[in-house]
Amino acid sequence: MAMYSISVTPLIASLQDPHVAQVWFADDATAGGTLRGLHDWWCKLKDLGFMYGYFPNAAKTWLIVKPERLDEAKQQFAGTGVSITVEGKRHLRAALGSRAFTEAYITEKVESWSRCVRRLVNIAKTHPHAAYAAFTHGLCSKWTYFVRTIPAISSLLGPLEDIISLQLLPALTGRSISDVERALFSLPVRLGGLGICDPKSHSDAEFDSSVKITSALVALIVQQELTFSIDTLEAQRSAKCEVVRMKHRAYDEVAATLCRSLPVGLQRIVALSSEKGASSWLSALPVEEHGFALHKGAFRDALCLRYGWLPSGLPTQCVCGQGFSVDHSMNCPTGGYPTLWHNELRDFTAAILSEVCTDVCVEPPLQSLSGETLTYATANREDGARLDVSAVGFWGGHHQRAFFDVKVFNPTASSYRATPVASLYRRFEKEKRRKYEQRIREVEMGSFTPLVFSTFGGISGCTSIFYKRLAYLLSLKREVPYSSAMSWLRCRISFSLLRSAIACLRGARSHSGCPISHRALDLVLSEGRVPSP
């Protein structure tokens, strides 16, 4: 592409005319100006084009004129083979011409996009995770280009939004959607939404943003400058940064306003879903090979947990004797699911540490105390005490052992609901430090870091520092950018926490049916006269 642009530049320079403004995109040449000037430009393009290997095709060339200039245009371009219209034509997939042509063109496109969304609705009934990814990573981009290049088309996108809100979202979530929830889903995932924008309400803002970003290039086209200076590049970069900042501010304001209108319980849940890394499972493509895919029940349960909905098909009574609810499922020890939750994070962290550190140990035993005095009453003084993971060389010392202990808590539990999440993170970090830090520092001569997670995917300040350091070491080991390593870690942690939450919600907490004998099998076969095969 770069070599083609360089080779065609002399042709563009030779076609410059004070009465014509031209703009090229690859081999697509466009010009605007007086009819006389355009006729001369076309003739010169045909005469000079062959010298550069450029052969314009009159059959694919259109001249768009005002209705009052139609007769004059026909006379001027008689015999050239150029087609003439007063309505408009498609140009670089956008619409160029009269308002009537633009509306007809967009209406046709909306019908085509709507058919695509309807097909996606059918897929969402059985594979909602795949359908969601197909929409957010692919299908919605089909109309993004058009809303950025064609002004004032928001009213024409109403049918598309109706299909998204009335058919696609219910198919993805398995339930009907209210207006408030639709507004919430249009927010980015980092703000607790689903990133499914309303094309009708966002089109005007997208067009304005496109105008700001391309203003420096438009100025060059209007001035017919052939050189692209570094100042223009910097101006365009600055405009992009400003547009991104404005878009983020606008989303933040909308999210803050919307959050105030939500019930108090849902406000807390949305805030938890907006924590750094908590929404990574939504942003990733559902690639089963990498462990990022969810079946339809798991995906809908994940959305229920994310937005505080009651999942369908839950029992009314837990086997422990208490009433069953989402909060109860996250805390009930029957079946050992909270332990499995903890163990999965422990084992994942240990597996990554084994790549970048030496002597990684799961559940390392601590040395017994022999007269040492520990300050805090809650400090662990037991013989045989263990932590979750230890590794040598993590914080830089080649021989110093670093110890880590995992804590996962449910911030929507009744005992935590009135406490800010940030305070809960600090509280559990302090509890872990008082329990282990002095003993590790003075007896083991090592360092201690508590790893605190919320069930929604958020992490504490110390945990964030730990995983940033781990991402840095992993990026050096695998020779990948730090940002890639950090994103991968966040995504894996997010899926680990999510799958553990779904297991707590749906997992069997008791075994029923025929009791199994644990006696010696040979004795059972003998006493039961079971014949040999």
| H or E element in which residue 35 lies | helix 35-49
In terms of domains, do 124 and 241 share one?
A: yes
Alpha-carbon distance 485 to 493, whole Å? 12
Q: Give me 316's structure tokens.
A: 């009314």
pLDDT of residue 188: 92
Other Cβ atoms within 10 Å of 503 Cβ, number: 17
Q: Give me 71's structure tokens.
A: 């007769």
Boundary residue ending a domain (27, 57, 86): 86
In terms of domains, do 74 and 113 share one?
A: no
User: Is residue 387 included in any domain, yes or no?
Assistant: yes
Segments forming the whole domain that contains residue 482: 336-506
Instruction: Name 152's Cβ contacts closer than 8 Å, sequence gap at least 6.
Output: 204, 207
In terms of domains, do 352 and 433 share one?
A: yes
Boundary residue ending a domain (239, 261, 283): 261
* Helix, strand and coil percent figures for the chain, each rounded to 5: 55, 10, 30
User: Is residue 318 included in any domain, yes or no?
Assistant: no
Other Cβ atoms within 10 Å of 472 Cβ, number: 14
In terms of domains, do 56 and 114 share one?
A: no
Alpha-carbon distance 487 to 111, whole Å? 37
User: Is residue 523 included in any domain, yes or no?
Assistant: no
User: Is residue 276 included in any domain, yes or no?
Assistant: no
In terms of domains, do 433 and 346 share one?
A: yes
Instruction: Name 443's Cβ contacts closer than 8 Å, sequence gap at least 6.
Output: 366, 367, 369, 372
pLDDT of residue 19: 86
In terms of domains, do 132 and 38 share one?
A: no
pLDDT of residue 517: 54
pLDDT of residue 228: 73
pLDDT of residue 260: 87
In terms of domains, do 498 and 403 share one?
A: yes
User: Is residue 159 included in any domain, yes or no?
Assistant: yes
Mean pLDDT taken over the chain? 88
In terms of domains, do 143 and 254 share one?
A: yes
In terms of domains, do 346 and 489 share one?
A: yes
User: Is residue 422 included in any domain, yes or no?
Assistant: yes
| H or E element in which residue 33 lies | strand 28-33
Other Cβ atoms within 10 Å of 522 Cβ, number: 8
pLDDT of residue 513: 47
In terms of domains, do 202 and 225 share one?
A: yes
Give me the number of domains the chain comprises: 3
Q: Cα 11 vs. chain centroid, distance in angstroms?
A: 44
In terms of domains, do 51 and 120 share one?
A: no
List the pLDDT tens digit at each of the 533 positions of the chain: 778 777 888 888 888 888 889 988 888 889 999 999 999 999 999 888 888 888 888 988 999 999 999 999 999 899 889 999 999 898 888 888 889 999 999 999 999 999 999 999 999 999 999 999 999 999 998 898 899 999 989 999 999 999 999 999 999 999 999 999 999 999 999 999 999 988 988 888 899 999 999 888 888 888 887 777 788 888 888 999 999 999 999 999 999 998 888 888 888 888 998 898 888 899 888 988 888 899 999 999 999 999 989 888 888 888 888 888 888 888 888 887 888 888 999 999 999 999 999 999 999 999 998 888 889 999 999 988 999 999 999 997 778 899 999 999 999 888 888 899 999 999 999 999 999 999 999 999 999 999 999 998 899 999 999 999 999 999 999 999 999 999 999 999 999 999 998 988 888 766 444 555 555 666 666 666 667 66
Q: Specify the DSSP class assigned to residue 176.
A: -
Alpha-carbon distance 469 to 379, whole Å? 27
In terms of domains, do 56 and 136 share one?
A: no
pLDDT of residue 62: 92
Q: What is the pLDDT of residues 228-262, one digit of tens each?
A: 778 888 888 899 999 999 999 999 999 999 888 88
User: Is residue 246 included in any domain, yes or no?
Assistant: yes
User: Is residue 104 included in any domain, yes or no?
Assistant: yes
Whole-prediction pTM: 0.85
